Amino acid sequence: MQVCGVDDAGRGSLLGPLVIAGVSLQRSKIRKLSAMGIRDSKKLSPAERERLYKKIIEFADDYYVARINPKTIDKSVQKHDLNNLEAKYMAKVITKLQPGISYVDSCDVNPKRFGKEISKLSNGKKIRSYHHADDRFVIVSAASIIAKVSRDRAISRLQKKYDVGSGYPSDVKAINFVKAYLSEFNELPKFVRASWKPVQNIVNSH
């Protein structure tokens, strides 16, 4: 049976894409992921993630990466519908990979509800949704690495042109970049999520 793990990266960032990744493997091969040293991407250094990213892509039966741009994110946030947007893209990844069962990391406070939504959106696929699935299931850890490296690469491309830091609201560089850009051009860059509270605060004070 093909088993799929799905996770996101960049949900809390105020700029750049929200990335959803899925990794699909024969059930019998999953144990080998642990032997490779694969675990939740948050517990790995950037160099370890890059190294494991290459290994996962070589080893996986299939994988798929979907990127959600800031404009699409903003539309969903305005409708208080971000969880549903993420469910839709997770369903898209699962539909693409066609596994027998999928394990997903739930962003909803109610993991069961989130799993049911993804199942509905993916034509009744079997979904197991949990909090901290990226820490509990190695197949989801593999997806978390693919998502994180894909997201980090997108931010690296931005960093070549702009001093955006990590892109997270806790990063002074990211906040200062938005302030400076808005002061200079009187608008936000297309890669900034205008619906994010810290961004709105900057716009309001501007």
What's the CATH number where 171 sits? Answer: 1.10.10.460
Q: Which residue has the tokens 């404009």?
A: 71
**What is the extent of the structural domain holding 171?**
161-205
Please give the tally of structural domains in the chain. Answer: 2
Q: Are residues 39 and 136 in the same domain?
A: yes
Task: Name the helix (H) or strand (E) containing 4.
Answer: strand 2-9
Q: Are residues 57 and 120 in the same domain?
A: yes
Residue 190's region, left for phi above 0, alpha for psi from -120 to 50, else beta, is alpha
Q: Are residues 66 and 121 in the same domain?
A: yes
Residues 72-94 have pLDDT tens digits of: 999 999 999 999 999 999 999 99
Q: Are residues 169 and 145 in the same domain?
A: no
Residues 24-76 have pLDDT tens digits of: 999 999 999 999 999 999 899 999 999 999 999 999 999 999 999 999 999 99
- pLDDT level of residue 203 (50, 70, 90 thresholds): very high
Last residue of a domain, one of 140, 158, 176: 158
Q: Are residues 166 and 151 in the same domain?
A: no
Residue 81 gets which letter from DSSP? -
pLDDT at 145 (0 to 100): 97
Quick one: average pLDDT of 138-160?
A: 97
Q: Are residues 80 and 103 in the same domain?
A: yes
Q: Are residues 150 and 168 in the same domain?
A: no
Q: Are residues 188 and 99 in the same domain?
A: no
Token code pair at residue 101? 């069962």
pLDDT at 10 (0 to 100): 96
Q: Are residues 193 and 147 in the same domain?
A: no
If you write DSSP's letter for every residue of 149-195 in order, what string do you get?
A: HHHHHHHHHHHTTS--TT--TT-HHHHHHHHHHHHHHSS--TTB-TT
Long-range contacts of 107-111 (CB under 8 A, 24+ apart): 107/8, 107/11, 107/82, 107/83, 108/83
pLDDT at 27 (0 to 100): 95
Residues 11-32 have pLDDT tens digits of: 999 999 999 999 999 999 999 9
Residues 94-126 have pLDDT tens digits of: 999 999 999 999 999 999 999 999 999 999 999
- Backbone φ, ψ for residue 22 (5° rounding): -125, 140
